[in-house]
Amino acid sequence: MTNWMHMAALAAEIPALPGAACKARFDLYERTIGEHHAAGRLTKPELDDARREALRLCAGCPALTRCRAWLDALPMSRRPNGVVAGVVITSSGAPMRTRTPANRAPCAAES
């Protein structure tokens, strides 16, 4: 399967979520994926800031319940990485078990 075909298949699985706060914010949510930090594209404070902002948007999102139901129905191997449905999803497909950046105040070095 070509890259485009793979991406099209993944996109077809995403439900319509009217009113979702993440719509048109792909730039923010893409930055919440840990691989960006590992590849040297983001610093740890930049990654935490992106996750904090995405989690804040998710917390007030009118589509959060439907989004969470969609995420919970996916097998872990099919879950997207980064912030999804108000949680940080790791590369294994499991939610991050440590304290999320949304619950942590930025340190002085991050301000």
Report the predicted TM-score, pTM, of the whole model to 2 decimal places.
0.75
Question: Which one of 38-42, 53-57, 101-105 scores highest in mean pLDDT?
Answer: 53-57
For the ranges 13-17, 39-43, 59-63, the lowest mean pLDDT is seen at: 39-43
Question: How confident is residue 15, by pLDDT bands cut at 50, 70 and 90?
Answer: confident
Which has more pLDDT, 53 or 80?
53
88 beta partners: 83
User: What pLDDT is stored for residue 106 in this prediction?
Assistant: 47
HSE-up of residue 69 (Cα within 13 Å, Cβ side): 7
User: Measured between alpha carbons, how far is 111 from 107 in angstroms, rounded to an integer?
Assistant: 7
Any long-range contacts for 35-41 (C-beta under 8 Å, 24+ apart)?
35/81, 35/91
Which residues fall within 8 angstroms of residue 63, CB to CB, at 6 or more apart? 17, 18, 19, 20, 21
Mean pLDDT computed over 33-37: 73
